[in-house]
Structures are given as structure tokens and as C-alpha cells.
Structure 1
């Protein structure tokens, strides 16, 4: 058995990245620290590039029994996310690959090119029973690498062929490329898209979400989806206390104006390694707010940076969490976004015939 030697500070420049380090994950036994020896000035270091590896899983539908999420199955076309959102709660998942939740998460990506074929096989199983599949609840299916890989588009083609419902979450404007498929599915009540909106401040967004589309561009995507007949849920996520919480009403107003029909919110979550990465980001980008942000979070989680308890992990507890929830409810109701949208249809599901199959007369 061997163990990786994790280098905390990379020997490369990292422009356009959310994390500034590559800390050891919770499974690493050894780590190393880079120390400048004076021979290579930082300006001469190479720029850290994105790497893509391929994975061929046996299954692509992941099941969950979490009582506080509205879906029981999901698909992740990619592991890791080049958007580089510093607050992403999915970062710790990279530790399962022997990689760091820091820079590795946003630069060492894994794609699943066989996912559409495997999905078709899983949906064709005689025992399969349809319920809405969630895509984008961990890493973004419309991150930049999708432009070349087109895995998400092929997954949608399979879902359309099977008449299977899907709920998509993204902050990527590449979703507009698939409006032809999405509008057809929307006409049958088979799709809904949630667009994540964290802040309207472009400078703050660039620092927190360095390779995600700018806020105004995401609002334009909301409008394009709505114009194509696709229901859009505005997702004010995450709400960051002391940093973005004052924008709740403004974000909802802009989303409603762009055509969103419903809205949800989630409080900032800092599980496992995300806490250290986010606090490092605060120290570098918002040192004047760091104490306030972390004090509010700990107030909502019983003195801890994060409490993973079901039913509380998404919103927190206490007076501050209650105030945020009340502000959101009042603003959403005023703007017509406080709606419980109906379930997507499952009664249209069918396994499409294959070449050579005997077709029905009815």
C-alpha cells in the first residue's frame, strides 16, 4: 500500500480559481508543504490547468433516502466542478477519489462519457419505476467541460426518449444550448430547471464563483428558459450571513422579473474540509467580514461551523435563521414566488422500442 503526498500550496499560479490551496483530505496520512527557495519567482511559475479523466461506472443512478431532500435518485455526469465555487458542499466528495477538496476539486475533473448508454440500460430494467431524477445537485452538469463532452445533452436525449421526468440545478448558461430538448420536455410536464443565484454583485461573484457565469448572465438564462416554456425555480443558494444575506429581496425581485415561477433558499453549509477552505477564502478576500460570517454560522449550528443533522443542515436554527426564513417568505409571497409546484409527470414513461423489436398494434 502507498499513500499520496499531498502538497498544500501548489507549485503553480492559480488565477481564476476559488481555492488557493490543496489541503490533505481526511483520508491522507501524509502531506507536504511547498516552501519557496528563491530560485523561481512566483511570476514565472506555470498556470495550473484543468485536467479531465474518464470514468466508466457500472451504474449512473444514485439512490438516497435523505428525508430533507425532495428526490430519491440523482445522476452526476461529472465529479469535481471547474466553476470553483469556494463554498461548494460537494468538495469533500473528491476525497473519495484520493484527491483534495481544494484545488483538485476544480482542476482535476472526472467525466462519465458512457453515462447516457448506462442510463438507458437502467431505465429499461423491468423492475424500474419512474420518479423524478435530479441532475446538478452535487456538481454542475453545465460546467465548462460540458461544452466539449456533451454528456448532459445525451442524458437529456435518453430521458426524452423514455419520457422520464428530470429536475436540473445549474448556474451554467450552457443550459441554453439544450433549449430544443428542454422545451419539448417542458411541454409534456417532464422538466423543471433551478438556477442558482448567490449574489448580484459581479465582483463578489467573481471572487466566490470564479468560473461560473456572472449574475446578470444567469438572469438572462432564467429569461431564455422562461421564454421557451421551461419552468424555472430561482435558488437563492447559499445565503451567506454577513456577506450576501442583505441581497435576498433584490435577488428574488430580479429572478421574478426574469420569469422565474418559484423560489427556494439554502443557508451556507461548511461540511468537513469546506470549512477550512472557506475561512481561508474569507481571510484573503473579505477579512473585515470573516469574524461576523463565522459567528453567525456558529450561532445557527450550536457553536460548530456546521451541523449535519437532517432537517436543520439546510437552514440552521435560532433567531438569525428564523429571521432569514421570514424575510424570504415575505419577499417570495409578495413577488408570486411562494408556490409549491406540482410533481413532474411519470405517467408518460415508456421504454422506447429497439431496432428489431415487435411493435404493438395499439
Structure 2
């Protein structure tokens, strides 16, 4: 289904990544818009962001994936207004009966009870602390966090429990929480990954239309390091034929900004992300469609994506090995080929709460 069948002609789409809104894979029907002429008569209707609230029943999600360096995570929001066209989390919106296309970046879900749930789950007598990952699905510092402050509330809980946390973000709003992060960093309880896909501001604006500029994200790395917070640069994703030539420059800029480690992930195109990304390429870089997609398929056995553990993050084959070696060489030269410090779990302590039974010997 083309854009004209899912997007009304009188709808003005500004600063969005996707250009279509096809129904998710679980839907039996497609929605078609039939303009009545009124919006067009007044110059069109702008596509705005809508936020609904979900009172979640649990907030900590556990995983057993051998590809991931964490076994638990929390997500304050569903969907992400940054609108990154390549976002591997887009297909999760289909679980909500929404489109992984424009719905993912315009119909967001906030979880206002996330901090209360987190507090309750950390208090469970059988809970054993391990680093909590935040930002591994959708960005906790996307624009709506400025007003909602759900991420800050969750951080406050983790700080009180002295619970370790690893944060991934593109959002410069993380600087607002330096008071909490500085305190946690001094105790070995936090580390941050800042994702920078390209140093080209024009390309970044097309790829990630509502994320901060590359220069602004580098400034965030500098601010975090200045506050004593461990920060790694995440050159993610590396996009064949589009951003792969920037690996060395990205790592150099990040090192200059103060990053103390680096990581990378190859472009991933699961499920609905593949057609969305190909449509985006056709619109913005039509001369590179074949070059980019041929490289992608070369790394995934002729397919747009392989979900197999061990290959989904990096791909396989000659090109994938070449990218890995370039990254390793540049990281070693810049002193970024190191792991971030292990986060402490031995400080974890359930804070006393009014009404708790105090120990006779405590």
C-alpha cells in the first residue's frame, strides 16, 4: 500500500521520519482516509503528536538474549517522537493495534505509574539487583519527557535504592538530571551511551527528524563527562553506503568530546522497518537505494534482515568484517576500545518506608 492510500493528501507532515502509516501486521483491515475537502480548503491540517496514558501492571521487563549485555530493562514510554526512520522498535507499535509508521512517532503512550511500580518491584524480597537498562527500546529522553518527567521519577527511585542503571539516549534532556546522575556516578551506579549516527547535520535531520543535532549530542557527552558520568559513543546504526564512511570521524569527534568508550551496531530492518526504510531511501537518496540495500542483503543471506542471535546486530560476510575491523582499529587508536566500568550491585538497599517494621538490631 502506497503513501497515497494511508496518508490523506491534505495532511501536512513536517519533521517526521515515516511517510506512510500502513496498518500493523496483526490488523485484519487497513484504514483509508477520505478527505472531505475542508482541511484542504484552509491549507491542510498539520500532523500533531498525541499522548495517551497507560497504567502499567509491571514495569521491569526481563530478557534472556545472548546478544544483549543486560537481562532487565524499563521503558517509560511506548513509541518515540524522535522519529528515527531506522528504529528497530517500530514494529512494537503493532502490538498496540497501531502502525509502525507515523503512528509510532505521533501516537505515543506514557506510563505515569512507572516510578511507583519500580519502587514496588525493587522492594520484593526475592528481587536480586543487576544493572537496569533504560532506553534500549524507545528513548526515555524524547521530547514529551520534558513535561511528563517519568524518566526522572524512575531515576529518583533507582537513586534511593542505590540500584545500578545503564542509560541509552539521543536526548540532550538527560542534562536536566545531572544532579541525580552525578551522585550515582560517584557511587559507581550509572553509565550512559549517547547515540550519534552521523556528523552530517542535514543527513541526521532526515534520518532522525526530531532528535537533537549531532553537534548538540556531542556537547551532551562533554557535559556528562564533565560531571564525572561514564559515557560511551554509540555509532549506531552504521548504515551501508550512507554513514559507513563516517566511522573514524564519529569516533574522533566523540573522543574529543570526552567519551571514554565506543560501540557500534549495524543497521537492522526487522518486519515493518524494511519497507519504511526503503521508502525513505527512495524519497531522500534515490540514487543510493540499490547500493544500500545490496549491502544490507549481502550481510543477511540475501534478505533484508536476519533475526538470528549472533548475526542480527552485526551481520556477516566480507563487508560486515570490514566494518568491524575499521571500527576496532579506530577505537584502539583513540583509546576507546575499552569496556565501561562495571556497575556496583553491592550497594543496593531497600530504603525504609513509613509503616515498615524496624529491626530490633538494625
Give the TM-score of the pair, scaled to structure 2.
0.96
**Superposition deviation, residue 38 in structure 1:** 7.6
**Superposition deviation, residue 36 in structure 1:** 7.1
Separation in structure 2 between the aligned mates of residue 303 and residue 98 of structure 1, nearest angstrom = 30
2:104 maps to which residue? 105
Residues 232 and 340 of structure 2 are in contact (CA less than 8 Å); yes or no, is this contact kept in structure 1?
no
2:301 maps to which residue? 302
Separation in structure 1 between the aligned mates of residue 53 and residue 238 of structure 2, nearest angstrom = 34
Residues 7 and 31 of structure 1 are in contact (CA less than 8 Å); yes or no, is this contact kept in structure 2?
no
Separation in structure 2 between the aligned mates of residue 183 and residue 131 of structure 1, nearest angstrom = 20
The count of aligned residue pairs is: 357
Indicate the SS of the match to 1:217. Answer: helix
Deviations 1:167-218 (A, max 9, x none): 0000000000000000000000000000001000000001110000000000
**Superposition deviation, residue 45 in structure 1:** 1.4
- For residues 60-209 of structure 1, the aligned pairs below 5 Å read 60-209=59-208
Separation in structure 2 between the aligned mates of residue 79 and residue 183 of structure 1, nearest angstrom = 27
Name structure 1 gaps, 5 residues minimum: 1-5
Q: Aligned Cα RMSD in Å? A: 1.6
2:7 maps to which residue? 9
Deviations 1:45-82 (A, max 9, x none): 11010000000111000000101100000000000000
Indicate the SS of the match to 2:287. Answer: coil
Rate the CA distance shift 1:38–1:349 in 2: closer, same or farther, 3 A. Answer: closer
Separation in structure 1 between the aligned mates of residue 39 and residue 231 of structure 2, nearest angstrom = 50
2:315 maps to which residue? 316
Residues 13 and 42 of structure 1 are in contact (CA less than 8 Å); yes or no, is this contact kept in structure 2?
no
**Superposition deviation, residue 341 in structure 1:** 2.4
**Superposition deviation, residue 357 in structure 1:** 3.2
Indicate the SS of the match to 2:65. Answer: coil
**Superposition deviation, residue 28 in structure 1:** 1.3
Indicate the SS of the match to 1:169. Answer: strand
**Superposition deviation, residue 33 in structure 1:** 4.2
Separation in structure 1 between the aligned mates of residue 165 and residue 290 of structure 2, nearest angstrom = 40
Name structure 2 gaps, 5 residues minimum: none
Give the TM-score of the pair, scaled to structure 1.
0.96
2:240 maps to which residue? 241
Between 1:338-347 and 1:127-136, the stretch displaced more is: 338-347
Rate the CA distance shift 1:191–1:40 in 2: closer, same or farther, 3 A. Answer: closer
Residues 53 and 110 of structure 1 are in contact (CA less than 8 Å); yes or no, is this contact kept in structure 2?
yes
**Superposition deviation, residue 31 in structure 1:** 1.3
